[in-house]
Amino acid sequence: MVREQKAAGYDFLKLHPGLTKETFPAIAKTAHEVGIPFVGHVSFNVGVWRAIDAGYSSIDHMDGFVEAIVPRSDTLAEQETGLFSSWIAYRADASQIPKLVKGLREKHIRVVPTQSLAERWLSPLPADAFSNDPEMKYMKPEQLKDWVNTKVGYLANPNFSKEHAEKLIQIRRKLIYECQKNGVDLLLGSDAPQIFNVPGFSIHHEMKYMVDAGLTPYEVLRTGTVNVASYFNKPDWGTIKAGNVSDLVLLSGNPLKDISQTKNIEGVMIGTNWLSKDYIQKELKKLEKQ
């Protein structure tokens, strides 16, 4: 399978949950042999330490990070830990974070936190804290209903507690901050469309949550520009300079002072195409009717 993906011309091998201690090493070994970087999820039965040792190119969702700093988590079954370790995060030992961050940095593994997924799905806030957001009008009613039901089900789970959910969010924020502080490149992503994460709009939520984690607006903006260009080895991306790719977003406010100003979009430049604010609003209006 790995060789087939490489032969097909793919740049990356996306790994999904469900790999085992037996299947993962063979995939990683073959990927290194044929020269295709592997990215994405870290399977529960693999764990982040094996993922680091194997040399992931990037890890999504901070998969396995919390389990790695929870004592004796290796004695638990996956269903006992919950999504993103939501049921056990309250037992996380923050003193273990430096070891984890050191491993990521030394292997030059990039991290896509998708914190908006956790903060909107796994926080203790009720469904209506998100379901009434203006951007929900762009989602089909049945999709929004599914999201609400998923959130309600999470809050009604016998394993849920408000205190533990808050600790999950806080430990994830600390992991994000420590990665940034200690030289682990963060990449901007939100995993939309997902629970209360509408494509496009969710990136603005993600940036806010990264600021909430302790990053400066400037550091956050780099996660979606300079860091991405570096990751893809594209020196003419990510910065404004003569000769660079002219993909730009023009804002009417200063996001370096307030990250929410990224929402005040006057227009978007894609190559030689200028998409004005009026054009964008008209296109969004069409989506409301679908």
Q: What's the chain's Rg over C-alpha atoms?
A: 20
What residues contact 6, with CB distance under 8 A and at least 6 apart?
Answer: 13, 34, 35, 36
**How many residues are recorded in the chain?**
290
**Burial of 103 per CB tally in 10 Å (0-12, 13-18, 19+):** middle
pLDDT at 289: 63
pLDDT of residue 1: 87
**Per-residue model confidence (pLDDT) at position 38:** 97
Domain boundaries, the chain: 2-234, 246-290
For 118, the token pair is: 């956790």
Q: Which amino acid is at 259?
A: I
Pairing type for strands 265-270 and 273-276 reads: antiparallel
Are residues 144 and 131 in contact, defined by beta-carbon separation less than 8 angstroms? yes
Q: Are 72 and 140 in contact (CB under 8 A)?
A: no
CB-based contact 63:48 (threshold 8 Å): yes
Give the pLDDT of residue 140. Answer: 93
Is the pTM of the predicted complex or chain greater than 0.75?
Answer: yes
Q: Which fold has domain 2-234?
A: TIM Barrel (3.20.20)
Q: Which residue has the tokens 């939309």?
A: 192
248-251 β-sheet, strand order: 248-251, 265-270, 273-276
**Mean pLDDT in consecutive groups of 10 residues from the start of the chain, 290 residues:** 94 95 95 97 96 97 97 94 96 97 98 97 97 95 97 97 98 98 97 96 98 98 97 95 94 97 97 95 86
The residues, any chain, with a CB within 8 Å of residue 46's CB and separated by 6 or more, are 19, 20, 21, 24, 64
Q: Determine the pLDDT at residue 290.
A: 60
Rounded CA separation 145/12 (Å)? 34
